[in-house]
Structure 1
Amino acid sequence: MLYGLWTLSSANGQAITLMPNGEDFEPLPQHATIAKVIADMVANYHYKKTRIDDSLSTRIFDMYLDRLDKSHTLFLTSDIKGFETYRFQMDDALLSGNLSPAFEIYTVYAKRLNEQVDYTLSALKTTQNLFSTDVLDFTREQMPWFGSASEEEAYWNKRLRYELMLLCANKKNEKEARGILTKRYEKFKVKLENQKSENAFEQFMNAFVGTIDPHTAYLSPRGADDFNIMMNKSLVGIGIELNVQDEYPTIMNVIKGGPSEKSGQIAVNDRIQAVAEGEKGQFEEIIGWDLQESIQKIRGAAGSVVRLRILPAGATLTARAKEVTLIRDKIVLEDQKVKYEVKTIRQGNRERKIGLITIPNFYFDAVAYNNDDKNYTSTSNDVRKALEGFKSQGGVEGVMIDLRNNGGGSLKEAIDLSGLFIKNGPVVQLRDAQGKITVNSDPDSLLVYSGPLTVLINRLSASASEIFSAAMQDYGRAVIIGEQSFGKSTAQNIYPLNRVLQQPDKNYGQFNMTYAKFYRINGGSTQNRGVTPDVSFPSRYSSLSIGESTMKNALAYDEIAAAAFAPVSQMNGINKTLEKDHEERMLTNPEFKFLKEDIEKLKEINARKSLVLDLKKFEAIQAEQENEDLKRTNERRKLLGLTPITATEAQEKPKVDYVKDESLQVTAELISKIEK
């Protein structure tokens, strides 16, 4: 990333701290056993067959250094030269349980990190030059490590001045900025005195499994607790799910119906810089905090006010953070369930009634189901009710299902939902680690809806969303509209390690391991490639690191034999016509023009690798960008018949969902084509 203190947290988002008094790290008694057990599980039960040998060892070695010092700003060349003796010992460490090489590397890493924090705290005692011609390079991943401590400190000083510039550009004078950074680094210093060997072990084990695939992970006891907090959506106060990426608490999901989603001001990949309590409380920066600390700071009682200072996803190096005020509230389950409405769309000289069904996730009440409750809550049951509701409202001529931002959920529900739109047949195939292929089919022959159908997806539609979309596409049952989906086609099992080791009274964390892969009924996989829409929109996510294909060591796309199924119809001819007409409409659509400009702007931002450390130039660029943003906001407002706003007024962009509107237009056209 291009912001913040890159090396003050681990690559998996946990804050990095050090042993007190510079002591070496040593494995805990259980670490040898856990390492051997996980190595055995990977070698024998992981979906990807893996040999624990020297070939793997050298990849683990490189991955370990990458996780600890990806930006090459901590280790010295002499450190790396000394580590080379361990390059072919990583596999032996796993198989024997002798983890000394990994812990010795981590001890040097901790020492270098401690030196960086001490240097920065010392430098913050004096005035820094914020009006220089010095250039800070943000991307050092491909550069060599520094040859000397003096080279390294020169770079640290540039980074420090950049952080001061960020604060000064946000209406702080240099003295105030140095005070803020001093408090931030002093907080880190406290953490430096409370490091546990568990951090070193977690880093090494994840370097090991990270060489195999990005979704297999060892979670320490604390890491497991954080994972379960996220999975249980415990951040119900404002309705977001967080992780920590490159020091920043980063929004991974915005929960439907929560205060964040309702505000319209928060999106996936936004980064939280600071949090303030109440309408007048002072902001406290949370850059560099670990996940649990960030969660505790943001959570609060229902009805209370919290203010966030946010860097929007893809923001430029010089962007000013925006302030968002939210009222904490309990996330109502109903807000996360299926929603439906009837939309009237003009198509040519006719008006078409289209049923719009929005599915936030694939949910399923397993307890009620197992208790034979016929009214158990589930996505497929609620969609069935929506389809029946359309009939009670006089009927619809077509249906559109909106799966944007739907990250998946229950496999059973993806299959059952598909069954509402086909009579019978396979929906998805699953191949396990032993190569056994299981075909999962629609369990009954009931066809609830047989009319024109479209499915709207985007880059954040994943897993179960992709299974359903792919099945509808393969059957020729629906036209898929939107963006290429996420591309995750792997399944993981969660193994609490106290159960694996048969020590139920202990907390040894957990191991999440990829055990299977999903395939379309046509034999292809959605892995890496996702689902390609029939009618497409350009994606602003294309310039961000979102999607399976952007992940290191993601499993490759491959194919198996197709399942036996009979397509409902052949849509190729219709799809080509729909795509052509869609493209013609987009040529005159101003929102489409704005989207393409936004994408080009993001590409330009991501191409920037350096910055001149001159506060005046920095502020000038920032002001120019803010004026440009205000101009574009007012252009949108004018098109909507709204009055323009000034720079001093709240600059919330008008809420325009032209993708949904255009997709409904495509649906109306599909109805017309099918009628012919």
Structure 2
Amino acid sequence: MKRNLAYVLLLMLAAVASCSFTNKNFENDDKDKLLLDLITYVLEKGHYEPKALNDDFSVHVFEDFIDVIDPTKRYFLASDIAEFEKYKFQIDDEIKNTDITFFNIVYERLMQRMNDAKGIYKEVLETPFDYSENESISIKYDEEPFAANREELKERWRKQLKYATLGTYDSKISHMENKEIESTDEHDHTAHSPKEAEEQSRKSTETTLDEFFDFVGDLERKDWFVQYLNTIVDEFDPHTFYFAPEEKEKFDTSMSGKFEGIGARLQKKPEGAKIVKIISGGPVWRDQRLEVGDEIIKVGQNGEEPINIVGMRLDDAIKLIKGAQGTVVDLTVRKVDGSLDVVSLTRDVVELEESYAKSANIIKGQEKFGIINLPKFYVDFNDYSERNAATDVAKEV
């Protein structure tokens, strides 16, 4: 009975999450409180052995949530944690009263500290690292205290960035020493001196961090709230997980190994959405007018005014590009050579062949072996008659 109840409640939850929140007058706090209330109700009423909402539960959620959003202790200060700790034994009461004060305070402070961190890493990477200096760093972050002030935090960043950059620096030095013939190719970025290797390594680390903070900057408040919800859900049961509608769609795509779209993997760039991979068999692959390196800057639905996606969150841009099988999407593209072109593509079902089971026969002497490669388990939850791991493996056998 409880299994059926949980299933019905989850369907209700999905309906509310995907439909009710489209009202722009429905404030974030109201949405989040309703979602928290629904998930808690599902877990308490539908779970086989629900946990008691008490102070122990509260402490675990408090500690785990802080650890999830700042695992390396590079954002929060000790004073922040001291301020948060007054909620350490109150989260269970907040859940019962559909109160999200703790989340709101932590989220606002995290946004502030992440903005501070962008300035800190830029400052640190302006100065060359001295690899002749004997220093140590602890990577047992759970045993380290939070930094007492900005100076201490900056020193932690400096050591962590020096440690992260060291591998790149060492690789460049080894490559430089092993290179027998000096290249005259202007596109060759091989370092020709330890100083140049150090500069390139720091620049590489800065680029990586720029891309990371660009990705984090695309996250919305609701994405962080999902992290908070899953901390609560995980405390109830580590095998239970909440998916927001967008994440549920990604999960279904991953599990089924297929989606409806144009068949290209994209990466966010300042100039637009860059094509980094073309999926074999998909519309882009069949059309042959687009190539890796092209940047999509506008997306138009058939006959409609195109929307500029420069600076847009990648997830939002992908929503515009993907669509039902048989529909047309018009892409304004900046080609690798700098020219602009408008390419119209008919969306189709794109299968990710690397997801599916494959087999091969191996003959060695007089012996014959059969090998089956199953990259992962997969199934289409919307249509169980479609290909899935069990039937595909059976066919390969």
TM-score band w.r.t. shorter chain: 0.5 to 0.7
**Letter matched to residue 131 of structure 1:** S
Is the partner of 2:30 in helix, strand or coil?
A: coil
Distance 1:225 1:161 in 2: 39
Shift of 1:40: 0.7
Contact 2:357–2:393 (8 Å) recurs in 1: no
CA distance in 2: counterparts of 1:128 and 1:355, whole angstroms: 53
Aligned position for 1:197: 221
Q: How does 1:111-150 map to 2 (within 5 A)?
A: 111-150=112-151
**Is residue 209–residue 216 contact of structure 1 (8 Å, CA) maintained in 2?**
yes
Give the distance between the partners of 1:333 and 1:179, measured in 2 at CA: 36
Residue of structure 2 equivalent to 1:71:
72
> 1:208 corresponds to which residue?
232
Question: What are the superposed Cα offsets for residues 344-402 of structure 1, whole Å, 9 maximum, x if unpaired?
Answer: 788xxxx67776666566667888877xxxxx86666666666xxxxxxxxxxxxxx7x
Q: Summarize the Cα distance change of 1:130–1:99 in structure 2 as closer, same or farther, 3 Å threshold.
A: same
Q: Closer, same or farther in 2 for the Cα pair 1:237/1:104, shift >3 Å? A: same
Give the direction of change, closer, same or farther, for the CA distance of 1:136–1:56 in structure 2 (3 Å limit).
same
Equivalent residue for 1:220? 244
User: Is 2:75–2:113's contact at 8 Å kept on the other side of the alignment?
Assistant: yes
**Contact 2:72–2:141 under 8 Å retained in 1:** yes
SS at match of 1:104: helix
**Matching residue's letter, 2:226:** E
**Cα distance, 1:213 vs. partner?**
3.2
Distance in 2 (CA, whole Å) between partners of 1:367 and 1:83 is: 43
Distance across 1 between alignment mates of 2:225 and 2:124:
32
> Could you say if the C-alpha distance between residues 53 and 181 of structure 1 is closer, same or farther in structure 2, counting changes exceeding 3 Å?
same
Q: Deviations over 1:22-65 (max 9, x none)?
A: xxxx9432111110110111111124422223221111111111
Amino acid at match of 1:31: D
**Residue identity in the other structure for 2:53:** I
| Residue type of the alignment partner of 1:224 | K
Structure 1 residues 95 and 27, CA gap change in structure 2 (3 angstroms): farther
For residues 286-330 of structure 1, what are the alpha-carbon distances to aligned partners after superposition, in whole Å with 9 as ceiling and x for unaligned?
A: xxxx9959x99xxxxxxxxxxxxxxxxxxxxxxxxxxxxxxxxx7
Identity score, percent = 23
How has the CA–CA distance of structure 1 residues 99 and 380 changed in structure 2, closer, same or farther, with 3 Å as cutoff?
A: closer
Please say if residues 35 and 95 of structure 1, whose CA atoms lie closer than 8 Å, have aligned partners that are also in contact.
Answer: no
Look up the match of 1:310. none
Aligned counterparts of 2:105 and 2:359: Cα–Cα separation in 1:
55
Distance 2:199 2:75 in 1: 27
Counterpart mapping for 1:359-438 below 5 A: none
Residues 139-538 of structure 1: matches in 2 within 5 Å?
A: 139-168=140-169, 169-170=171-172, 171=190, 173=196, 174-187=198-211, 196-233=220-257, 277=292, 336-337=356-357, 339=359, 341=361
Amino acid at match of 1:73: R
Please provide the CA RMSD for this pair: 4.6
Deviation string for 1:439-481 (max 9, x for gaps)?
xxxxxxxxxxxxxxxxxxxxxxxxxxxxxxxxxxxxxxxxxxx
Superposition pairs for residues 651-662 of structure 1, below 5 Å?
none
Answer whether contact 1:75 1:146 (CA < 8 A) is retained.
yes
Q: How many residues align?
A: 280
CA offsets 1:111-150 (integer angstroms, 9 cap, x no match)? 2222222111123333333332112222221222223332
> Do 2:256 and 2:388's aligned partners in 1 also have CA atoms closer than 8 Å?
no
Letter of the aligned partner of 1:227 in structure 2? F
Partner residue, 1:304? none
Query: How far, CA to CA, are the matches of 2:381 and 2:128 in structure 1?
Result: 61
Shift of 1:86: 0.2
- Distance apart, 1:220 and its partner CA: 3.3
CA distance in 2: counterparts of 1:333 and 1:186, whole angstroms? 32
- Report the equivalent of 1:82: 83
Alignment of 1:665-676 (within 5 A): none
Q: 1:43 to 1:340 in 2, by over 3 A?
A: same
1:366 and 1:190 map into 2 onto residues whose CA distance is 33
Contact preservation (8 Å) 2:358, 2:373: yes
TM-score (norm 2): 0.56
TM-aligned CA deviation for residue 97 of structure 1: 1.8
- Tell whether the 8 Å contact from 2:357 to 2:372 is kept in structure 1 after alignment: no
**Deviation string, structure 1 residues 146-183 (Cα, Å, up to 9, x no partner):** 23332221111112223333443344533334444444
Question: Greater helix share, 1 or 2?
Answer: 2
Q: Whole-Å Cα distance in 2 between the matches of residues 76 and 193 of structure 1?
A: 21
Per the TM alignment, residue 211 of structure 1 is displaced from its structure 2 partner at its CA by 1.7
SS of the aligned residue for 2:71 comes to: coil
Q: 1:41 to 1:364 in 2, by over 3 A?
A: closer
Q: Which runs of 5+ in 2 are unaligned?
A: 1-26, 173-189, 266-278, 282-290, 294-312, 320-349
Per the alignment, residue 103 of structure 1 pairs with 104
Q: Contact 1:32 / 1:97 at 8 angstroms: preserved in 2? A: yes
Measure, in 2, the Cα distance between the counterparts of 1:35 and 1:51: 16
Does the CA-based 8 Å contact 1:239-1:258 persist in structure 2?
no
Name the counterpart of 1:52.
53
**In the TM superposition, what whole-angstrom CA distance separates every residue of 1:394-418 from its partner, at most 9, and x where no partner exists?**
xxxxxxx7xxxxxxxxxxxxxxxxx
Match of 1:554 in 2: none
Give yes or no for contact 2:124–2:157 (8 Å, CA) kept in 1: no
- Once residues 336 and 291 of structure 1 are traced to their aligned partners in structure 2, the CA distance between those partners, rounded to angstroms, is 27
Tell me, in whole angstroms, the C-alpha distance in 1 between the residues paired with 2:222 and 2:68: 15
Q: Which amino acid aligns with 2:356?
A: Q
- Give 3-state SS (helix, strand or coil) of 2:200's partner: helix
1:253-275 deviation digits (Å, cap 9, x = unpaired): xxxx989xxxxxxxxxxxxxxxx
Whether the 8 Å CA contact 2:61–2:231 is kept in 1: the answer is: yes
Code of the aligned partner of 2:79: S
Alpha-carbon distance in structure 2 between the residues aligned to 1:98 and 1:50? 19
Question: SS of the counterpart of 2:29?
Answer: coil
Relative to the length of structure 1, the TM-score reads 0.35
Matched-pair contact (CA < 8 Å) for 1:338–1:379: no
